[in-house]
Chains A and B, each alone.
Chain A
Amino acid sequence: MLEIRDLHATVNGKAILKGLTLTVGAGEVHAIMGPNGAGKSTLAYVLAGRDGYEVTGGDFLVDGRSLLDLAPEDRAQAGLFLAFQYPVEIPGVSNSTFLREAVNAQRRSRGEPDLDALQFIKLARQKMNSLGMTDEMLKRPVNVGFSGGEKKRNEVLQLAILEPKVAVMDETDSGLDVDALRTVARAVNALRAPKRSFLMITHYERLLEEIVPDRVHILADGRIVGSGGPELAREIERTGYAAYAAAAA
């Protein structure tokens, strides 16, 4: 499970997160909604440990362990996964090479032996089949020339293979048409598990029709300003964020 405690963070000296507190229990799916500039993507990057995102107060824990002082790779090895809003293109590195390095790095951290090429392909195929993907995607360079939908599916594939404890999904719906959104949502739903927590960061309620959350939180000006059940997302869709933004200010 994921616990965020009074988290404060700055980007380029500017305070973006101003005391964010949130707990996502094991097996739960929570959604964070909020207007542009509320700090949604900052939260995602702060959790994953990106350079330039400085934590000035608070803490966050995965399964009771603080990850704040860890390098990005160590956070991933501790069970944290960030599905990027804009997955990065990496020319010259094939998806399978990348995924195998990632799987094996995580296996090593748990003291497990590496998967060889054959074992890895078997695992990847099995995951792809269960997500309704073809393994053609494995041969291509990471995200290079992928459509918006393919990029997001590739993120979900990584999630499936790496089996994190906590998955933070940053604007997984952005850049997707309705069909692509459904495909990705189905894949995410298939990965819901009793020991896995999801934090869905999104702008619109649309995604939450497909991946129904247990809780919805409204983020405004760096803080959670309201929480509720799935119905809160529909309310926002009708009334907008104005009331919450005003409350935060």
Chain B
Amino acid sequence: MLGMEARRDGVLGLSLLAPGFGAGELAGSSWLSRLKAEAARDFAAQGLPTRRREAWKYTDLKPLAEIAFRAPVADDSASVRTLSDLLDLPPPEGSRLVFVHGRYRPDLSFCDLSEAGVSMSPFNAGAGDDKALAARLLGQIATAADQPLVALNTAGMEDGLCIHVRAGVHLQRPIEIVSLGSAASEPLAWHGRTLIVLDDGARATVIEHQRAPAEMPAPALVNAVTEIALGAAAQLCHYRQQALGTTGFHINAVAATLGTDAVYEAFTLTTGGGLVRNDTSVTLGAPGAETRLAGAYLVDGSQHLDTTTLIEHRAPRTTCREVFKGVVDGTAEAVFQGRIVVQRDAQGTNANQLSKALLLSDGARVNQKPELEIYADDVKCSHGAAAGQIDREALFYLRSRGVPASVAQRLLIEGFLGDALSQISDAAVREAFSQTAFAWLQDR
């Protein structure tokens, strides 16, 4: 795919584009081969981002360049049995689409065909009826030109999923996407890709489970990209649970573009992953569009979790609300970079950002960088970033009532995270995510 001339000094991670990598079944379609070839060139020109790039100031991908990753071979040898721990989920309410190493596994999936007005098409199935939609939008919302990992994903993707909800359709049951990695003996890299399109007035809930075994014999690179396009007055609730093994590199980019009065609500709960980067960029490009981004993370050991958000207010009366809360233990490190840009035309913008980290040990670290860039004059913006320890007064108060120190600490952490978890508007998801977070606290 690449000539030797591209392997010049200072470009990191070119081995990730090894010949044949990502050629996969997708090469068949001409628009897609063009997109992938272009993305490969984009990646070769940029390489992996270094910390000199502002957006990657606090997260170092250099270790990635030193690992000889391979693309997973397309077989079904990762049997249901070896994956059974990871598939230990409550029965799906609606559709559950399972991907292993970025490839769709119909044998593990369940498609609820009872709801009309929605299609869920894996790319390798030709993206079904939504081929034209995919051809039009893929790579247009998350662009490869200035985002090397999106470029790498586009060049390397071998399958993916297009979810399309037709105008005015309100899905009654959530769509679940389960992305699994198995314990492979060599370092594998895969690039899951999802495109979610809600036509005007459509409503849907998408729940993602990103999972891999806690102990992996070799590091894995999961480099996922999700593109979201919401039509006028469409509403998407997008919830993610990330529990990758601690030897995993987990890079996620979500890019969403919203129509008039559309609402994008997202919540990400992260407990696993060695190095996790969650990049979310939302373009509020039409009047009245609203996004609510929230997340909670619980990390320890030497985990590194980077939450980076970019909200762009481009139209009048657009709203964003961000609430991120995290617990950092051991020598783990958390990063929050939250940038909000209010363009000149975005009068009446309401933007609100909060990021708080609770440090449970002396070795725990957090870097926070809120950034507001405002070019309009009629706006309401606020942001707050804080890091602190458990409130000793509160701890003493609880203990003075007979509550043991460990339980008191857990109660206080639960209370701290509650602010973020309460942002989840779906009660069942809120309950499930809270359980996961609280179980992490119980087990620590």
Question: How many angstroms between the C-alpha atoms of A89 and B391 in the bound complex?
Answer: 10
The 8 Å CB contact of A88, one of B393, B418, B419, is B393
In the complex, chain A residues whose CB is within 8 Å of the CB of B376: none
Interface assignment of A97: CB less than 8 Å from any CB of chain B = yes
A12 to chain B, nearest CB (A): 15
Interface assignment of A106: CB less than 8 Å from any CB of chain B = yes
B340 to chain A, nearest CB (A): 25
Interface assignment of B218: CB less than 8 Å from any CB of chain A = no
Instruction: Determine if B399 and A91 form an interchain contact, defined as CB atoms under 8 angstroms apart.
Output: no
Stretch at the interface among B108-116, B341-349, B400-408: B400-408
Interface assignment of B55: CB less than 8 Å from any CB of chain A = no
Tell me the total A-B contact number using a CB cutoff of 8 A. Answer: 84
Q: Given A49-B400, A93-B418, A102-B402, list of 5 further CB < 8 A pairs?
A: A50-B400, A81-B401, A92-B419, A98-B403, A105-B403
In the complex, chain B residues whose CB is within 8 Å of the CB of A162: 401-402
| Given A50-B396, A101-B407, A105-B407, A91:B402 Cβ within 8 A | no
Question: How many angstroms between the C-alpha atoms of A162 and B411 in the bound complex?
Answer: 19
Instruction: Determine if A93 and B414 form an interchain contact, defined as CB atoms under 8 angstroms apart.
Output: yes
For this complex, 17 residue pairs linking A to B, each with C-beta atoms less than 8 Å apart, are A48-B396, A50-B396, A71-B405, A72-B400, A73-B399, A73-B400, A76-B399, A81-B401, A87-B397, A88-B397, A90-B398, A91-B419, A92-B419, A105-B402, A105-B403, A105-B404, A105-B407
Question: B: which residues have CB within 8 A of A?
Answer: 391-394, 396-405, 407-408, 411-412, 414-419
In the complex, chain A residues whose CB is within 8 Å of the CB of B396: 48, 50-51, 72, 88
In the complex, chain B residues whose CB is within 8 Å of the CB of A89: 394
Interface assignment of A184: CB less than 8 Å from any CB of chain B = no
In the complex, chain B residues whose CB is within 8 Å of the CB of A51: 392, 396
Instruction: Determine if B394 and A88 form an interchain contact, defined as CB atoms under 8 angstroms apart.
Output: yes
Question: A: which residues have CB within 8 A of B?
Answer: 48-51, 71-73, 75-77, 81-82, 84, 87-93, 97-98, 101-102, 105-106, 109, 141, 158, 162
| Given A88-B393, A92-B416, A101-B411, A106:B402 Cβ within 8 A | yes
B128 to chain A, nearest CB (A): 45
In the complex, chain B residues whose CB is within 8 Å of the CB of A90: 391, 394, 397-398, 411-412, 415
Which residue on chain B has the smallest CB distance to residue A107?
B402
Which residue on chain B has the smallest CB distance to residue A90?
B394
Instruction: Determine if B392 and A98 form an interchain contact, defined as CB atoms under 8 angstroms apart.
Output: no
In the complex, chain A residues whose CB is within 8 Å of the CB of B393: 88
In the complex, chain A residues whose CB is within 8 Å of the CB of B398: 90, 98, 101-102
Question: How many angstroms between the C-alpha atoms of A237 and B271 in the bound complex?
Answer: 60
Question: How many angstroms between the C-alpha atoms of A101 and B403 in the bound complex?
Answer: 6
In the complex, chain B residues whose CB is within 8 Å of the CB of A91: 415-416, 419
The 8 Å CB contact of B411, one of A49, A93, A106, A158, is A93
In the complex, chain B residues whose CB is within 8 Å of the CB of A73: 399-405, 408
| Given A51-B392, A92-B419, A101-B407, A72:B399 Cβ within 8 A | yes
| Given A51-B392, A101-B407, A82:B400 Cβ within 8 A | yes
Which residue on chain A has the smallest CB distance to residue B418?
A92
Instruction: Determine if A93 and B404 form an interchain contact, defined as CB atoms under 8 angstroms apart.
Output: no
Which residue on chain A has the smallest CB distance to residue B404?
A73
Which residue on chain A has the smallest CB distance to residue B392?
A51
Question: How many angstroms between the C-alpha atoms of A242 and B400 in the bound complex?
Answer: 34
Question: How many angstroms between the C-alpha atoms of A49 and B400 in the bound complex?
Answer: 8
Question: How many angstroms between the C-alpha atoms of A101 and B411 in the bound complex?
Answer: 9
B298 to chain A, nearest CB (A): 15
In the complex, chain B residues whose CB is within 8 Å of the CB of A87: 397
In the complex, chain B residues whose CB is within 8 Å of the CB of A75: 400
Top-4 shortest CB links A-B: A92-B415, A76-B402, A93-B415, A102-B401
B384 to chain A, nearest CB (A): 14
